Amino acid sequence: EAVNYIVGKDGHIAIFYNSDASPLVPNIFSRYIDEIYEENKSNIFVRTGEVSCYDQDKKFFVQFYQERSKLENFTITKSSIQTYIYTELINAFLSFIFYIINFSELKNIKIHLSNTCIKDFNIRESELLNNITKMTIVDSTFDAIFLSKILMFPSLKEVSFNDCCVKFLKNEVDFNVNKKIEKLYLVNSSVDDQYHYVKFINHILNLKILDINIYSSSRNSNIFSIKTDTINIKLFHLRSLKYSATSFSDYAEPIFPKLPYILQIELGSNFPKGTLHRIFYQNYFGSLKRLKFDGAHLGKEDEFAFGNYINLLSLCFSGYSKCSEIKFSELFDSNNIYSLQELKLPDIEITCLDLQFLSKINCLKKIYIYSLASQVHIINFLKLLLFVQEIQIKKLSVYGNEIYEQFGTKPVYLIWMNNYENLKYLSRCVE
């Protein structure tokens, strides 16, 4: 089965196929629609014959060996053709043969492979190799040799493994140091040798963004659940970490390494009580500025979890985060002065003690809360936080009478814009 691609600068792809016999692989494409437009370039399109595209009319039908019933009319657009690629699919093995023109215009090449088994990966043309910037592998199996080749791509900046299986097969493979890859996404994959898997990640020296999402207990690519003294995870230049593991157990609770330059951490669902204390109190991420949780459960075990994070700027709880047997302010140290500018606390009730704590955070600019405790008066709450530029309160039905007496309306959702002369607000009112 032979597949041909014509790739335009605007992202359109013209595809046709030619099969001399009934292949074991089903037909991939049977129709295509794309357009060709020549723009004073003599080598933007390749077809049978020696006549260049520059000498041809701007509009023409391209003739192939296929029967016309298999093709749609080849219409014309204003986009010029950038690349002609011939791709050959061979049964049992997958190999690619590229015939490409206009190498100088090939920039930021993205490779996407899915549903395949990869044992090696070689690109001979340096013009291609030097311009590959992103690689995504989905639902595939590959080995350590392939991982070693990834580290050798000179311009690769982003790598993503989604539902993949990594098999090291007990083979010793030397990994080269890579200083170009900055983003790594590891989604629900499995490995048969966690030691060498961590070794591979440690060779990505300048990794800045790491995203780990595990939603199946059968997947073991969670590098933060590996308990071993034989190798340590080294993420010294990491700036952003997004971590989510749906199913938790004592073994699966994350063990984070030292992250001296981490600026942002986002942690996923199902964190049991005490997890935040073990992560943030027992470790100190001194550069941390932004922290977000999705579905965290806070309890008495999390007291002082954020006590040392005086330079934290943003703290957001989303999803189904809950507080029980602990007040929000007890997550901090009341003796410290904090730099928080943004707080998002859905499903967390603000008490008088919390209000007293919030009133001392002079840098606070935005606060998003779900409700107030019964002993907290809404008007006093707003006046004590007069320095806050924006306050959002979702549940206000219990304060309807107080707000009506003060402002003449009953909002169900309040966005409060403060200034020092006159308290102004925007509200959606009950009709």
| pLDDT digits 0-9 by tens, 193-248 | 888 899 999 999 999 999 999 887 666 667 887 666 667 899 999 999 999 877 54
Check if the beta carbon of residue 242 is closer than 8 Å to that of residue 266: yes
The 3-state DSSP class for residue 265 equals strand
Burial class (CB in 10 A: 0-12, 13-18, 19+), 64: middle
* CA angle, 83 then 84 then 89, to 5°: 125
CA–CA distance, 238 with 207 (Å, rounded to integer): 6
Check if the beta carbon of residue 123 is closer than 8 Å to that of residue 129: yes
pLDDT of residue 151: 96
CA–CA distance, 411 with 244 (Å, rounded to integer): 36
The 3-state DSSP class for residue 6 equals strand
pLDDT of residue 402: 67
> What is the C-alpha end-to-end distance of the chain, expressed in Å?
65
Instruction: Kindly give the parts of the chain with pLDDT less than 70.
Output: 1-105, 171, 217-221, 226-230, 247-252, 319, 396-431
Tens digit of each residue's pLDDT (9 = 90 or more) over 384-416: 888 998 888 877 655 666 666 666 554 444 555
CA–CA distance, 273 with 62 (Å, rounded to integer): 66
Alpha carbon 283 to its chain centroid, in Å, reads 24
